[in-house]
Amino acid sequence: MKNGYESRRLLDQYLLFHYGSAEQILQGSHLDWQPDHEGLHFSVATVFSTLIFDLISEKQEGSLRALDVGCAVGRSSFELSRLCGEVMALDYSQAFIHAAQQLQQGQPMRVMRYGEGQVGSELDVSLPTGVAAERIKFEVGDAMNLREDLGSFDLVHAANLLCRLSEPMRFLERLPALVKPGGQLVLATPCSWSEEFTPLENQPSGTTLDLIRSSLGEAFELKRELELPFVIRDHARKFQISTSQTTVWLRK
Ligand SMILES: C[S@@+](CC[C@H](N)C(=O)[O-])C[C@H]1O[C@@H](n2cnc3c(N)ncnc32)[C@H](O)[C@@H]1O
């Protein structure tokens, strides 16, 4: 299976996206965005702007099991560790998982932030304060072929993963078994389907939400729908600005 997420350039880009402060991400750009622009904090927002906290009792907190699929370099997994006693964090990229593990051990990661061409400046990123890093197990894994003994989870989070899969249905079909009754599922996707990742015959024939709805079927109830912006720096004069259709589902 093809996965372009092993390169140093994408590793740098995702480390900056997940762990860089607004000032670090925007350094040298001519955009006059405010540091609290939501798109600069996407991997925190997919956890804390999505979950329905009224459905989580205080006594559950700390004993919750969470699964973060397609976790990349791990920021949302670290955010989930603030709430959950155990977090399984999986990604297909060895380079991304290795970086997440290095951060977990308290070691900063050096990042190249590009200005233009190959010119840029280096900076270090490290874990945000207050996370419970020891609660997370990072692992290389395939969302379309998850190991059978993962068990089930109170929270399942998959951000910007679906349209990067060659066979998205294989992941969607596994979800009812992965989420415990009463548990929550967060699916965020910019619906950026491309043959680079997903053959045409495996892309939705209608909307992505219709595909998700029909495959989650009777097992889930749609509780919340929102659009979360995200901003990824290519270089000082080029930023990818997108929004991710984010749905929160309750397992019946
Ligand atoms: C667009 S990135 C999103 C990462 C992160 N969740 C975020 O919101 O920033 C897609 C991620 O999915 C991972 N990925 C691609 N195919 C995968 C697969 N079959 N199983 C698990 N992860 C996969 C990539 O390595 C990459 O880290």
Ligand 1 contacts (CB < 6 A) are 3, 5, 43, 70-72, 90-93, 96, 142-144, 159-161, 164-165
Write the residue with the smallest CA distance to atom 13 of ligand 1: 70
Q: Cα of 250 to ligand 1 centre, how many Å? A: 23
Write the residue with the smallest CA distance to atom 27 of ligand 1: 72
Residue 181 binned pLDDT confidence (cut-offs 50, 70, 90):
very high
The tens digit of pLDDT for each residue in 105-158 reads: 999 999 999 999 999 999 999 999 999 999 999 999 999 999 999 999 999 999
Q: Cα of 71 to ligand 1 centre, how many Å? A: 6
Write the residue with the smallest CA distance to atom 4 of ligand 1: 72
Which of 16, 161, 240 to mutate for ligand 1's pocket (most ligand atoms within 8 Å of CB)?
A: 161
CA–CA dist 89, 99 (Å, integer): 13
Write the residue with the smallest CA distance to atom 3 of ligand 1: 160
What pLDDT was estimated at residue 137? 98
- Cβ atoms 71, 52 nearer than 8 A: no
Q: Cα of 155 to ligand 1 centre, how many Å? A: 18
The tens digit of pLDDT for each residue in 158-169 reads: 999 999 999 999
Domain residue limits, the chain: 8-251
The tens digit of pLDDT for each residue in 70-115 reads: 999 999 999 999 999 999 999 999 999 999 999 999 999 999 999 9
What pLDDT was estimated at residue 54? 87
The mean pLDDT of the chain is 95
Using the predicted structure, report yes or no on whether residue 2 has a pLDDT greater than 60: no
Distances (CA, A) of 51 to 68, 183, 229, 246: 13, 10, 17, 11
Q: Cα of 91 to ligand 1 centre, how many Å? A: 6
CA–CA dist 174, 171 (Å, integer): 5
CA–CA dist 110, 16 (Å, integer): 10
What pLDDT was estimated at residue 59? 66
The tens digit of pLDDT for each residue in 10-39 reads: 999 999 999 999 999 999 999 988 888 999
Ligand 1: which atom is nearest the Cα of residue 46? 8
What pLDDT was estimated at residue 3? 59
| Joined tokens for residue 91 | 């990604």
Q: Which CATH architecture is the domain 8-251 placed in?
A: 3-Layer(aba) Sandwich (3.40)
